[in-house]
Structure 1
């Protein structure tokens, strides 16, 4: 999250390939999760599963299909809080489908089509069931269009933080980790199903609408409103999608010779954050030296007032920050997530430590390289923190623990023990090789431990047993 990486969440502050096709968890659990439909009377298709049985969010996501593209057309009026939306979802069926579900919280569905033909819809909680006029054949691509409107919800997580649709002083901000994206568009909202996004947003004159990826067009409408067209070309988990609407001071530059960098800040905090925003190309240069090629076609940041958002989040290509947390350490953390968490996303929410361990270790590396504070010292500080030992980083007890101190600090300690055990040469090979192997895909903890052992060419079971899965603090660091 990433800080989710939420820095406010810290006390101090299927296995062997790149899963860019069918959702990893959907494939793994499809046999168990799918619900049988029809009475056998010549009906071939069955409904897709209403949920992927994620360890912490069992009803999140849906079975029976794999989304390849979302095309969202949105219009928002801050004066009324009303959002009008049209979601065009292109997907491939992974089974013969008589019906399928989309995740959607609140909002009113006005209609749906599948393949251009009207489809029946039904709502039950956050599940929107779509029943096409004809079954969708396994392996076929199909296009679903849902029209909807209403005042989007703010979702309060089990740990008390807010996500979904957040009203700001001059507009709105959409954040999605872990479940908030369902508050503003229907979709398959589990991180295992990544897709390309095209987001077109119309807002009142004088406001800007910012999202992920590259701004393809910005134009005035006939009635003086402004329409912005964004394209995120690389696969993205829905929790990393963002939409920021308001008055922003923006700057543009280039990083790494070719990557456009767009930063935006609320005018109230623009001046105080300008110098650090300007450092993004420099920081990306340093990170590519350590983590490998930058994985996206765009970069940047959005900085809001502290009253508008309470944590930083690594939304893909354009992380979001409250001004009070927009410091070098947090920026390094969120930019590192572009490799670890955004390009390589968790196969389930249980794998969140893979996001946060690397992003936290990026902080340690920055301090080592630029502040003369060795990573070993950061490790010792984390080791002494009692809160880091509340649970193993790969096994948070409940959803409210997903962003707990062990996920960040003890997760980073796992990486440091790998570095100590294997040496710097192999460790830096892993730092760049891991996001290269699973680039634009998803991975889980077993993928990681198997990958490290394959690079090291040795069994590291003892390290994993003590540092990744062990209960309590070892006697010695």
Structure 2
């Protein structure tokens, strides 16, 4: 969908002329179309670094009208005669450093020309006013805006911000967030971080949420509707906010039995990975028609399909693991997604062993035998998936086998030391697979390139001898572990081109 509009107080023709003239005059200084991601080269925007997003939103469920003002506090990293933001909604006006700016929307790019160029190293404050109906907008046939009977949920990967706030939409540019959302009284709004204020006025209620830790834009979420919201506290005072859509029906009890163990799972994973990285935790069980779960920061969103067979703590263990692997330490490039999914899936395997429903070794054996040597599964190397296969089953299950191979090679003591030091050193930052391999070799003192080549980068099922070295029994077909049917490969999102 191509959504092109030109606006500035003096009229469309004048705005178009000014914009085209300014762009032509600054060709030499034109920032690249995207931040430079290998798989999604037009995602994100170079030339500035965002520190904070302040979102003030008003939503009307009956019409799906979302009106907002986004204040983006950033610093220019190069001279900016113009810059871009990732956004799909209809923009009414833009101001930069207090002055009206010209803007143009084309596909998911909002190009902004300030009245005065912003010099490298200077503060860039952009205020974007907008209003639109997000449910009417798709890109590549997908959406991250999911309407429900009385509201909406916004969730998607690798992009979701496009449908509700303008942003530098790439994990390399994290920022803190304030999210204020006004809705009709009787509805609830749940977002990331901590609820700092609730105000009722003239039949409408405003919820204010704050996330003070750096957060990638795709990890920001908002759920609006009628929710049963429960706030508890862990023994260390960490708030646990769980929200359940009242339309969950027969899935509600199983969802509650799963998400109410979030605090317990956070404590268990903290023993494995080190201190939990954020100031709150919890989850949102939505009745929306999504078919995935996503690790939205501090407050993962869960599809009802995970609870159709009863309680499922494995999906909770997976999404909570992402708070370390993916949220605190985020990918430097979307081609590094194994760092997110391989470790989150392996955490499910460890949880299965702790719950007595299948050991890690049994699950590794099962996955190896489940896919014959000629299965397409083995033709997708988790370390080099390609943009169109970002959520292929191999990134989860073969990715977890790579983690298991590392553990078998270096032993438990070195394995958990690798994980804890990796997460501590890159806390709130970004990292690549190559950096992880170098870190694992430095901590363990082992040469690990052959291992990762076999399990991450080479097509085809690793031979029996390689499997045995990875702690897998390649010769005896195992029984299906009791936990397997709740740990099957899952696609997190339908996003991307």
TM-score in terms of structure 1 length: 0.87
Aligned to 2:435: 447
SS of equivalent to 1:268: helix
8 A contact 2:291–2:305 mirrored in 1: no
* Higher normalized contact order (CA 8 Å, seq sep 6+, divided by chain length): 1
Mind listing any 5+ residue stretches in structure 2 that lack a counterpart? 1-21, 468-497
SS of equivalent to 2:81: strand
Which among 22, 43, 54 is matched to residue 71 of structure 1?
54
- Displacement of 1:155 after TM fit? 6.7
Q: Does 1:246 align with 2:229?
A: no
Q: Does 1:322 align with 2:307?
A: no
Listed as ranges, the matches of 1:61-460 within 5 Å are 61-105=44-88, 107-153=89-135, 162-221=142-201, 223-269=202-248, 270-305=252-287, 307-326=288-307, 327-371=312-356, 373-384=358-369, 385=371, 386-397=375-386, 399-460=387-448
Give the whole-Å Cα distance in 1 for the aligned partners of 2:136 and 2:146. 6
Give the whole-Å Cα distance in 2 for the aligned partners of 1:418 and 1:288. 20
Bigger Cα Rg: 2
Note the aligned Cα RMSD (angstroms).
1.9
Give the whole-Å Cα distance in 2 for the aligned partners of 1:102 and 1:256. 41
Aligned to 1:55: 38
TM-score in terms of structure 2 length: 0.84
8 A contact 2:214–2:428 mirrored in 1: yes
Question: Over residues 11-58 of structure 1, what are the superposed CA-to-partner deviations in whole Å (9 max), with x where a residue is unaligned?
Answer: xxxxxxxxxxxxxxxxxxxxxxxxx96658xx9x93332212322211
SS of equivalent to 1:136: coil
Give the whole-Å Cα distance in 1 for the aligned partners of 2:381 and 2:176. 34
Question: Over residues 121-144 of structure 1, what are the superposed CA-to-partner deviations in whole Å (9 max), with x where a residue is unaligned?
Answer: 112221111111111111112210
Question: Over residues 408-466 of structure 1, what are the superposed CA-to-partner deviations in whole Å (9 max), with x where a residue is unaligned?
Answer: 11111111111000001001112222211111111111111111111112221111221
- Displacement of 1:100 after TM fit? 0.2
Going from structure 1 to structure 2, the CA distance change for 1:263 and 1:54 (only over 3 Å counts) comes to: same
Q: How many residues get paired? A: 433
Give the whole-Å Cα distance in 2 for the aligned partners of 1:426 and 1:388. 30
Give the whole-Å Cα distance in 2 for the aligned partners of 1:265 and 1:390. 39
- Displacement of 1:268 after TM fit? 3.3
8 A contact 2:259–2:313 mirrored in 1: no
- Displacement of 1:368 after TM fit? 1.6
Give the whole-Å Cα distance in 1 for the aligned partners of 2:350 and 2:168. 36
8 A contact 2:232–2:241 mirrored in 1: yes
Give the whole-Å Cα distance in 2 for the aligned partners of 1:48 and 1:475. 47
